[in-house]
Amino acid sequence: MKVTTATYGDAIVVRAEGRIDQSSAGDFQKELSGLVDAAVGTEKQIVVDLSKVDYISSVGLRALMVANKQAKPKGVTIRIASMQEVVKEVFTISHFDKVFPTFDEMPKALQAVSALAAAAYTDED
């Protein structure tokens, strides 16, 4: 699994790639935790781009939940964008779709953060 980050206006976008499972969830969690810490107090929000993630296991989902528990009390929202169909199914089965705001496309997720984030994304991509 590979994780990269980018900033668009007041949105921090986390792009994961590959499988998020037993072997990679720990690194994914550390990455998310660091980004939540970075977002606290800055009014930045986090969007996790899962378009290149082809599978996420329960441990991977747990990593997202741990980050959400860290983020929410501090006013940071984690949004999920661009899930592949299988990952979307896993979200539904796990009921994580009831916990996280999810968006089919990245522009919509960024629009939900702010017009500034959406505009910055449009300019760059």
Partner 1 sequence: MRIRFWGTRGSIPTSMNADHLREKIGAAVKAVIEAGGDPDSAIDALPFNMRGTYGGESSCVQIETGGDEYVVCDMGSGARRLALHALGKHGPGAPQVYNIFQSHVHWDHIMGFPFFIPAFIPGNVIRIHGCHDVLEMAYRRQQDNPSFPVPFDFLGATIEFVPLEPDQTYEIAGMTVTPFRQLHAGDSYGYRFEKDGKVAVYSTDSEHKLEDQEETDYFIRYFRDADAVVFDSMYSLADATSLKEDWGHSSNMVGVELCQMAGVKMLCMFHHEPVYSDAQIDQVLAETRRFEEISRGDGPPLTVIASYDGLEIDL
Binding site for partner 1 (CB under 8 A): 22, 25-26, 55, 57-59, 61-62, 65-66, 68-69, 86, 89-90, 92-96, 98-99
**Gap between the Cα atoms of 113 and 125, Å rounded:** 17
CB of 123 to partner 1, least distance (A): 36
Task: Give least dist CB 43 to partner 1, A.
Answer: 25
**Which is nearer to partner 1, 90 or 118 (by Cβ)?**
90
Determine contact, residues 60/20, Cβ cutoff 8 Å. yes
Output the smallest distance, CB 44 to partner 1, in A: 23
- State residue 23 phi and psi, 5-degree precision: -80, -20
Contact 43, 12 (CB under 8 A): no
